[in-house]
Amino acid sequence: MKNKTFPSVSTLKGVGPRVAERLARLQIFTIQDLLFHLPIRYQDRTRIRAIATLRSGDECVVIGTVEHSEVVYRKRRMLLVSVDDGTGKVLLRFFYFNNAQKNNLARGVNIRCFGEIRQGLKGPEMVHPEYEIQHPDDPAKVEDHLTPIYPATEGLHQLSLRRLTSQALHCVKSEEFPELDLLPVPPEIDGHRVSITDALAFVHRPPPDADTEALTSGKHAMQRRLAFEELLAQQLSLSKSRLQLQKQAAISIAPIAKLYQQLINNLEFELTNAQQRVITTVFSDLKNNYPMLRLVQGDVGSGKTLVAIAACLQVIEAGYQAVVMAPTEILAEQHLRNFSKWLEPMGIRLAWLSGKLTASKSREMKDLIASGTANAIVGTHALFQQDVEFKNLALVVIDEQHRFGVHQRLALREKGIQNNAHPHQLIMTATPIPRTLAMTAYADLDYSVIDELPPGRKPISTIAIPLARRHEVVKRVANACRNGQQAYWVCTLVEESEVLQCQAAEDVFSELSQLLQGVKVGLVHGRMKGNEKDAVMLAFEKREIDLLVATTVIEVGVDVANASLMIIENAERLGLAQLHQLRGRVGRGSVESSCVLLFSPPLTENAKLRIDTLRNTNDGFKIAQVDLEIRGPGEVLGTRQTGMLQLRIADIMRDQDLIPKVQATAKLIQEEYPQNVDALILRWLGESIEFGQV
């Protein structure tokens, strides 16, 4: 029971229970679903290509005469058929063939074949082309439209999908499908009003004279017509979940702000304007009787922690609990230190939960949380455990959100629901989100930016040095440390294995300890115990360690203001966002800082782009933009797995120019045609949309 208006796919020819089950795997239940199952690319079988004009990678139709055919025995037995069309020759290569095939492909026979051209040793080749024998009196037939290639699934291949979509397109033409023309707001793209049915017919079966270049790059007007509508549906769906959120209840937090004032008075510095602005916004969100859902973005070092603390204080003052969750042990511990430093003097009890606590300690903490003795709770994902219960949780702060999955966030939110009241949520990230993305992917969240760094920060100068000159870098580190500077040396490995990562760090640690007489070298990595790590970090903070060798565990959040030199080994292996995060560990104090990216040549094109970008700018937004271009939004936002942003035809980067109009149209539809909202969402997103509940 997917949709009342549209007939089920089972009404189509060739769809029995087995095919229906396979279609269901592609989320296709109705004829409408089939119509919106759009091609990912096209093949051109509308023209016969002259062999002489073929290039490697071309997928094309060729007609010619078999000039030679033989079975050869190399590593494997294979049938080689040389075909000549008068302009040149192409070699067909078959590894699987039967005798009939072999006999049919005899010298003098005319064949028509389709396949991808590869450059072989002796000229162009096609491996296992599709082919047909042409009889002399047959007209040289070609397809009358470009061939669509659909997302497929096991047991349901292109040919079946083509047959089914043809039937669906036919239905639309012949039957009444009122819903299909449901877009009374004219989205006049490029000044043309194109009906949805025309756009669908075109995109499923583009005519031979279609602009293939535009089609291949997804920029054809017909594709943009559909992309526009898809983005519109996304937008409508996100604002719908936002409205739903606002219907949920939350505890309204009175803005007393006495504790906050006390905090400000105790700080040895002034809050930046940006921090103050975001804090004011958060306080006003907390006053609402529906849950806050705010994403705060601030570049590394912009002072997000104080925003979190301010929000917590407000909630605690009103008599409720606040929890702060960090993605790593080290970062959680650091929050704990900050919270103790600032909250304990005000008489606020803290609790702390991490996976590494002993059973009895953890029990003790859980009791503090359940009884409400502790008001401020800091921890890692250990906070998700089933037996963690809160007395009266009113605020969840999630730091460095991209490390957490949507489901983890949901779990914590669920825990906080009491008497139907949802906790407020503050999500903090250092990943800058370009505006277009924020407006689409995060349209269901409120969004604030801390767009100002505390005064006195100096830009970090970044250089890239090939591994062959590593010894010079070692010397430079030694000099810096002997002059009272502190440095990080980060070891990276491609392998996901934490064991190997830590091994690499241990090796570098012993190497540098021996090489650098008079320099105090420390080591921190993910396999050390929490208290060991803590001790090392503390020693580094107290300047008892000059040089800290580390794995990428220090990537997020670690804050030692005196550290001014960052060495990243094998920098070419890391992504831009990660490099930017790592580099952000220095440049936090008032000293000039630098970052050395050690790389092993040769660099791939992308690695070179990453390193150049980092050398040229400290601006998190510029870096994010390049990152987005290299990796795409799904990767950047870490939403690959969550089902968010799985677009059928639109591409946020490519189609970003459509977004302002999408937003305006969404607003218009909500106001003038509210009855169309659900139909549009259903058409493009189906019924499987849960992500609004982040």
Q: Six-digit token pair at 657?
A: 């120019």
CB of 272 to ligand ADP, least distance (A): 5
Q: How far apart are CA 335 and CA 661, in angstroms?
A: 42
Residue showing the smallest CB distance to ligand ADP in the complex: 303
SS3 content of the chain, % helix, strand, coil (to 5): 45, 20, 35
Q: Does 454 bind ligand ADP (CB under 6 A)?
A: yes
Choose the one of Mg ion, ligand ADP, none that binds residue 83, judging by a C-beta under 5 to 8 angstroms depending on kind.
none
The one among 148, 298, 379, 434 contacting ligand ADP by CB under 6 A: 298
Q: How far apart are CA 93 and CA 152, in angstroms?
A: 26
- Which one, 454 or 530, has the nearer CB to ligand ADP? 454
Q: Six-digit token pair at 104?
A: 């049919």
**CA nearest neighbour of 150 among 15, 16, 23, 12:** 23
Choose the one of ligand ADP, Mg ion, none that binds residue 303, judging by a C-beta under 5 to 8 angstroms depending on kind.
ligand ADP
**CA nearest neighbour of 613 among 586, 637, 577:** 577
CA-CA-CA-CA torsion for 607, 609, 613, 615, nearest 10 degrees?
A: 60
CB of 610 to Mg ion, least distance (A): 23
Choose the one of ligand ADP, Mg ion, none that binds residue 96, judging by a C-beta under 5 to 8 angstroms depending on kind.
none
CA atoms within 13 A on the CB side of 103: 3
E strand segments, 528-674:
547-550, 563-568, 594-599
- Which one, 331 or 395, has the nearer CB to ligand ADP? 331
List all residues 6 or more positions away from 9 whose beta carbon is below 8 Å from its beta carbon. Answer: 15, 20, 23, 28, 29, 30, 31, 33, 34, 164
Residue with tokens 């705010």: 294
- Which one, 304 or 366, has the nearer CB to Mg ion? 304
- Which one, 9 or 330, has the nearer CB to Mg ion? 330
Choose the one of Mg ion, ligand ADP, none that binds residue 423, judging by a C-beta under 5 to 8 angstroms depending on kind.
none
Q: Which stretch binds Mg ion (CB under 5 A): 85-93, 414-422, 554-562, 668-676?
A: 554-562
CB of 375 to ligand ADP, least distance (A): 21
- Which one, 91 or 331, has the nearer CB to Mg ion? 331
Is the Cβ–Cβ distance between 523 and 536 less than 8 Å? yes
- Report residue 109: phi and psi, to 5°: -75, 140
The one among 124, 148, 291, 301 contacting ligand ADP by CB under 6 A: 301
Q: How far apart are CA 93 and CA 117, in angstroms?
A: 11
Q: Does 620 bind Mg ion (CB under 5 A)?
A: no
- Which one, 22 or 335, has the nearer CB to Mg ion? 335
Size of the site for Mg ion (CB under 5 A): 2
- Which one, 304 or 533, has the nearer CB to Mg ion? 304
Print the binding letters for residues 116-135 with ligand ADP: x by CB under 6 A, - otherwise: --------------------
CA angle centred on 327, ends 339 and 312, rounded to 5°: 35
- Report residue 460: phi and psi, to 5°: -90, 130
DSSP conformational letter for 156: B
Q: Six-digit token pair at 469?
A: 């000159």
**Direct distance between the N- and C-terminal alpha carbons of the chain, in angstroms, rounded to an integer:** 27
Q: Does 302 bind ligand ADP (CB under 6 A)?
A: yes
The one among 306, 505, 659, 677 contacting ligand ADP by CB under 6 A: 306
- Going by their DSSP bridges, the two strands 59-73 and 77-84 should be labelled as antiparallel
Choose the one of Mg ion, ligand ADP, none that binds residue 302, judging by a C-beta under 5 to 8 angstroms depending on kind.
ligand ADP
- Which one, 291 or 432, has the nearer CB to ligand ADP? 432
Q: Does 368 bind ligand ADP (CB under 6 A)?
A: no
Choose the one of ligand ADP, Mg ion, none that binds residue 269, judging by a C-beta under 5 to 8 angstroms depending on kind.
ligand ADP
Q: Six-digit token pair at 261?
A: 């004032």
Q: How far apart are CA 78 and CA 72, in angstroms?
A: 6
Choose the one of Mg ion, ligand ADP, none that binds residue 432, judging by a C-beta under 5 to 8 angstroms depending on kind.
none
Q: How far apart are CA 539 and CA 550, in angstroms?
A: 14
Subset of 298-327 contacting Mg ion (CB under 5 A): 304
Print the binding letters for residues 420-449 with ligand ADP: x by CB under 6 A, - otherwise: ----------x-------------------
Q: How far apart are CA 469 and CA 477, in angstroms?
A: 13
**CA nearest neighbour of 619 among 428, 457, 488:** 457
- Going by their DSSP bridges, the two strands 321-325 and 393-399 should be labelled as parallel
Size of the site for ligand ADP (CB under 6 A): 19
Q: Which stretch binds Mg ion (CB under 5 A): 225-233, 262-270, 317-325, 553-561?
A: 553-561
Q: Which stretch binds ligand ADP (CB under 6 A): 302-310, 316-324, 483-491, 515-523?
A: 302-310
Q: Does 559 bind ligand ADP (CB under 6 A)?
A: yes
Subset of 248-287 contacting ligand ADP (CB under 6 A): 269-272, 275
Q: How far apart are CA 601 and CA 206, in angstroms?
A: 45
CB of 577 to ligand ADP, least distance (A): 14
- Going by their DSSP bridges, the two strands 486-490 and 563-568 should be labelled as parallel
Q: Six-digit token pair at 461?
A: 């100068």
Q: Which stretch binds ligand ADP (CB under 6 A): 213-221, 299-307, 313-321, 595-603?
A: 299-307
Sign of CA dihedral 524, 530, 536, 541: positive
Choose the one of ligand ADP, Mg ion, none that binds residue 306, judging by a C-beta under 5 to 8 angstroms depending on kind.
ligand ADP
- Which one, 32 or 334, has the nearer CB to Mg ion? 334
**CA nearest neighbour of 115 among 102, 98, 132, 96:** 132
The one among 49, 304, 335, 525 contacting ligand ADP by CB under 6 A: 304
Residue with tokens 């349901």: 156
Print the binding letters for residues 464-503 with Mg ion: x by CB under 5 A, - otherwise: ----------------------------------------
CB of 557 to Mg ion, least distance (A): 4
3-class state of residue 574 by DSSP: coil
- Which one, 421 or 550, has the nearer CB to ligand ADP? 550
CB of 631 to ligand ADP, least distance (A): 22
3-class state of residue 648 by DSSP: coil
Q: Which stretch binds Mg ion (CB under 5 A): 18-26, 151-159, 296-304, 455-463?
A: 296-304
The one among 220, 413, 415, 588 contacting ligand ADP by CB under 6 A: 588
CB of 467 to ligand ADP, least distance (A): 30
The one among 557, 584, 620, 692 contacting Mg ion by CB under 5 A: 557
Choose the one of Mg ion, ligand ADP, none that binds residue 505, judging by a C-beta under 5 to 8 angstroms depending on kind.
none
- Which one, 152 or 539, has the nearer CB to ligand ADP? 539
Choose the one of ligand ADP, Mg ion, none that binds residue 369, judging by a C-beta under 5 to 8 angstroms depending on kind.
none
Choose the one of Mg ion, ligand ADP, none that binds residue 559, judging by a C-beta under 5 to 8 angstroms depending on kind.
ligand ADP
Residue with tokens 């239940």: 29
DSSP conformational letter for 300: T
State the DSSP H helix or E strand holding residue 673, giving kind and residue range, or none if neither: none
Q: How far apart are CA 284 and CA 287, in angstroms?
A: 5
Q: How far apart are CA 396 and CA 325, in angstroms?
A: 8
CB of 618 to ligand ADP, least distance (A): 14
Write out the residues near Mg ion by the rule CB under 5 A.
304, 557
Write out the residues near ligand ADP by the rule CB under 6 A.
269-272, 275, 298, 300-306, 430, 454, 557, 559, 561, 588
